[in-house]
Amino acid sequence: MPDREPNHLSPEQVEAELERIERAVEAGATGLSGLGFWRLVRELKADPALAERFADRAGRIDQEAFARRVRVRLPVGLGNAALGAGTALGAALLGWAVACDEPGQAAIGLIGSAAVLSVSVHDLGHWAAGRAAGIRFTSYFLDGPLRIQPGLKTDYATYLRASPRGRARMHAAGAVATKAAPFVSLALWPATSAPGWAALVVLGMGLVQITTDVLWSTKKSDWKRYLRER
């Protein structure tokens, strides 16, 4: 069934569709969109009573399809620890930039801090805002060999039960954290001996990320999901 706009299915129809999709996933299908799953999800989001009734089953289907599609996964606790270590490293590089008297080394510390923090705080932002909204997560994963930013898989049952505002904030939090990171480093540039070109590099990193969000994320990634939930 192709995805289309919700048409106010009855609970019995939703249950029948979920049964059909679940059987297809158990048989090896992983393309949930082509199975009509996301159309049903829109239906559930539009009706809190339906969302509560079918959240567990929808979450089970989503997780099964994800597990069949993505083989390399890490526990959330391990992923958070690794990203926390990365955040600590970024803070240490920034501290080194402030403490160092040698301009070249200070520049490395300043630029390095912006790069490391931009990567490490993204999913931590999603996780913190998601947990505040009652959303849980099942694993970290890498979505493709060229992607350096790990993905964070939601527990879709808890995602459906969260408020639309809570879901929107969760999607926005990672993007905001990433975009803020270079400007945190830049704010401390006057306290370092790093030359002006290093500050321009960090500023450029921040502006490139903002541009990427405007041109791409609003259509494909976090900001698209934020606007959808709002």
Range of the domain at 48: 11-69
Residues 170-206: pLDDT tens digits? Answer: 999 999 999 999 999 999 999 999 999 999 999 999 9
Provide the whole-model pTM.
0.88
In a domain, 46, yes or no: yes
Closest alpha carbon to 175 in 133, 118, 111: 118
Residues 17-71: pLDDT tens digits? Answer: 999 999 999 999 999 999 999 999 999 998 999 999 999 999 999 999 999 999 8
Amino acid, single-letter form, for residue 63: Q
Amino acid, single-letter form, for residue 45: K
d(CA 84, CA 140): 14
In a domain, 212, yes or no: yes
d(CA 164, CA 228): 9
Look at the block and give the residue holding tokens 């993204």: 122
pLDDT at 144 over 80: no
142 and 221 co-located in one domain: yes
94 and 133 co-located in one domain: yes
3-class DSSP string for 85-125:
HHHHHHHHHHHHHHHCCCHHHHHHHHHHHHHHHHHHHHHHH
Residue-wise DSSP of 27-85: TT---TTTTTHHHHHHHHHT-HHHHHHHHHHHHHHHHHHHHHH---EE-HHHHHHHHHH
Residue-wise DSSP of 113-162: HHHHHHHHHHHHHHHHHHHHTT--EEEEE--STT--S-EEEE-HHHHHHS
Q: What are phi and psi of 16, to 5 degrees?
A: -65, -40
Highest mean pLDDT among 137-146, 170-179, 217-226: 170-179
In a domain, 2, yes or no: no
| CB 36 within 8 Å of CB 1 | yes
In a domain, 166, yes or no: yes
117 and 225 co-located in one domain: yes
84 and 44 co-located in one domain: no
Look at the block and give the residue holding tokens 């299915």: 9
Provide the number of structural domains found in the chain. Answer: 2
Residue 3 confidence class, pLDDT cut points 50, 70, 90: very low
At residue 9, the 3 state secondary structure works out as: coil
119 and 209 co-located in one domain: yes
- Where a domain ends, among 53, 69, 85? 69
